[in-house]
Structure 1
């Protein structure tokens, strides 16, 4: 979608840039979605600016900062709780809990997990004992000699292995750096993390709950920061890390078959562009896979950090902010300069480009178009697939192999969905205003659930494409409204007789 603020008129460009700067300074979305709202009772037409909701600072600093504050609140509420949370019935899309699915070692999907594969543990991976699991998610309470009770939890960091010597994030010798292995490990890293939580729960003795963030190391390999509720012996965690691996049961993709030619779609299947011979289907290719030899094996590296944390404390606050530090940045942007006056390190920029180039043609899953490059039809293949142009996020420059979620939250972490945490933040502001005798933001303003006298929705929302002047006016109106809410909220806190919970850093 073209940016409504970037028009041919230079004055419109300058005004649009100024509006964005003002919006960013006031914590307001600078690139909102504009919707037209018709009030069927009064016949009035209104244009409304809806925040874009981006979680990336480069796209929208205000929305990204708001999303990070929400994650900080979610992490803090669940980390050291001393009561069992109620399991929510449904989670937001961001709160999926893939670790609950206990599949065979694979990185493909249902088709592979149904096939007969070797179920023996690898000889180079230690066995893990199974222990009785208590029906609890909270940590144990300890009592000091002075009689003080405390319930510690843990902060854990897991990394991937080395692919070659690095200096300042870039390979010392790019020629010997194992980019292929680094790229494949990044692609299957989410599944490796899932397997770690499955293994940990089998030996920890209780239903381990966690809030974790997947972030890039300076060398661009993904690693995991995790807040774990309760404590687990360090030796047990080290044992689980050593025993955790993921085997990728894919057809061989060592040697490209089609580099300068492109397989042709004949209306039903892909075939050789010259001979017309059909390419093996995904199922046919899997039939040729050695059931004892996976295409790739992913493991964690030797670097492992663990720390016990007691809350409330400065260490707990610092750990939460460190855990969410890079959530507003893409994988490639995490360590690149944000100041236009600071030149990027050419060695580091080349490292990013080389890793991205490796990921461009590697498969990201069983439906990846890149399988055509290796002479294999992807699962459920259809017309229009071109090797090197797969739509999966793992191939993007911004993600560099990580096509999954950046935030992983177990089901019983806080007992709330992300939407419920968002509502809590808005309630804090509204209650403070009402306690001071002020009118809080209307909850159901123009809501689609509000009905007219005929029982049908009173407000009808439709898309609209305003001109640049209208767009700027709506952005500045949102800035003015935010300033008014912030002023009223500050006055309400000062007027309140009792202390007000100030977890919400800004009005909703």
Structure 2
């Protein structure tokens, strides 16, 4: 017998908040006006991208991505991208960065500088890089030892992959214009779907027909290195077609849990050319071998502070220092018969569709691209049957001991010290994103957008929506404070839950719901022909 109980007040409150697009986890921030000294409590949306955490913020992010995809997909003119001149604050931070880098170099050459060693100045340089980024500077400075001594291997193509001709890459990014028999012109674009190869026969629910013969190891490694394969595909595509191909892509799992790629490409490329590029695209993983387990169970490497320059791991029986990451790579480079640990390729299945601007197909594809962005990788196809749960368990177990990066603790299992080892590392307990069950081995970004897609960053698109809403409200005579006003000077700080001016979560939601209702009424009144899409723009204000 199932008895239905009355809903809880907190549940009803959150449901109403979601209905009105209000964040269910508002963050209390104290804003201090530097001109007047007045302090005001502002409840800021949490900004989470997963609907399971905050449905309102996740949906707002999804809509913003849809706007970004639509504005860049069918551009008729080349996007103009300019860089602002550095301001005084940015110049000052960079001057300090140059002084710290010089002190670090002197410390590395002489042993110490003013009583401080290289490690001290490395920390200073890292802190300054963070401040430079906070000041609004994009990109990073490659000044470390890793940038100077980057390892490279032969770029000779594999014999089992077809050769791919290269053309000079033109700076053009927009697609070609076609003229029909009726004289009308149109500029089509492309919607492409790429998948990985088969690991064994699967049923319609994504579970293997024969789990024991299903290649979980290859599936795990393909998922771990899928993002590198996508990067290589884009590189090969641009070199083959001869222009700067622009794309908006989303990575999602299939029902069999393997990641696959949906990509909106500006302009058209023939299916024959796409098949050539896919067939010739691969990514080789030149890592130490993991075929033999050296340490497991209770017999694991032990940490010794005196091993190496900054400590290291020793064999628990012999006391010998394990090979470092650099030594293991050197051994691979010196072996002429060495083979890569793994080679990842796309499967043969390719789906390419031509799409016209402002068409039903265009809207459908944009919705498909952004559909699962509010869900985690494992949430896209939740396990409902025992067979599906077993499939997830086997995939998670295959990923548990598979190294996810050079710094992964799992390298200790195979007798190699990870890059930058530290005390307390244990095989099977790496905290890398790819090892978590909710990511199913994929540790890359879910949304991939080329730099010249729309000529704007995601923050620029958000600012456009906010500027539109503020302009409409200003035209209607509604006073709205704008923290971005150059005349205003504010300092923001995170308020603690125990601060006396921070209201309880329920009180915050009630205030924000009422504020959202009033703001939408004002915005609807300010627009001559309000629509749900335009009304939703008030969310950014």
The TM-score normalised by the length of structure 2 is: 0.80
Picking from 454, 467, 471, the partner of 2:505 is 471
Q: CA deviation at 1:132?
A: 3.5
Q: 3-state DSSP class of the match of 1:87?
A: coil
8 Å contact 2:524–2:535 — kept in the other structure?
no
Picking from 336, 344, 350, the partner of 1:298 is 344
Q: 3-state DSSP class of the match of 1:134?
A: coil
Residue 417, structure 1, aligned to residue 457, structure 2: yes
Picking from 146, 149, 170, the partner of 1:134 is 170
Q: 3-state DSSP class of the match of 1:172?
A: coil
Picking from 375, 382, 387, the partner of 1:347 is 387
Question: Partners in 2 of 1:28 and 1:308 — Cα distance?
Answer: 38
Picking from 281, 284, 290, the partner of 1:253 is 290
Alignment of 1:14-413 (within 5 A): 14-39=8-33, 44-87=38-81, 89=83, 114-115=151-152, 117-167=153-203, 168-260=205-297, 261-267=299-305, 268-289=311-332, 290-291=335-336, 292-336=338-382, 344-413=384-453
Q: 3-state DSSP class of the match of 1:288?
A: helix
Question: Partners in 2 of 1:358 and 1:448 — Cα distance?
Answer: 54
Question: Partners in 1 of 2:9 and 2:426 — Cα distance?
Answer: 41
Picking from 466, 479, 486, the partner of 2:520 is 486
Question: Partners in 2 of 1:505 and 1:75 — Cα distance?
Answer: 17
Question: Partners in 2 of 1:147 and 1:494 — Cα distance?
Answer: 36
Q: Which has the higher contact order (CA 8 A, sep 6+)?
A: 1
Q: CA deviation at 1:494?
A: 3.7
Of 54-63 and 465-474, the range deviating more from structure 2: 465-474
Q: CA deviation at 1:114?
A: 1.7
How many residues in Structure 1 have an aligned counterpart in Structure 2? 465
Q: 3-state DSSP class of the match of 2:30?
A: strand
Question: Partners in 1 of 2:529 and 2:388 — Cα distance?
Answer: 53
Q: CA deviation at 1:438?
A: 3.4
The TM-score normalised by the length of structure 1 is: 0.85
Pick closer, same or farther for the CA change 1:70–1:88 going to 2, 3 Å: farther
Residue 442, structure 1, aligned to residue 481, structure 2: yes
Q: 3-state DSSP class of the match of 2:193?
A: strand
Of 200-209 and 132-141, the range deviating more from structure 2: 132-141
Q: Deviations over 1:326-355 (max 9, x none)?
A: 111111110127xxxxxx212112211211
Question: Partners in 1 of 2:173 and 2:33 — Cα distance?
Answer: 48
8 Å contact 1:48–1:474 — kept in the other structure?
no
Pick closer, same or farther for the CA change 1:110–1:14 going to 2, 3 Å: farther
Pick closer, same or farther for the CA change 1:249–1:471 going to 2, 3 Å: same
Q: Deviations over 1:38-85 (max 9, x none)?
A: 456666543322111111111111111111100000000000010000
Q: Deviations over 1:354-408 (max 9, x none)?
A: 1112111110111111111111101111222221222211111111111111111
Q: 3-state DSSP class of the match of 1:475?
A: helix
Question: Partners in 2 of 1:369 and 1:311 — Cα distance?
Answer: 48
Pick closer, same or farther for the CA change 1:156–1:212 going to 2, 3 Å: same
Q: How well do the aligned residues superpose, as a CA RMSD in angstroms?
A: 2.7
Q: CA deviation at 1:431?
A: 2.4
8 Å contact 2:201–2:208 — kept in the other structure?
yes
Higher helix proportion (structure 1 or 2): 2
Q: Deviations over 1:296-317 (max 9, x none)?
A: 0000001110011111111111
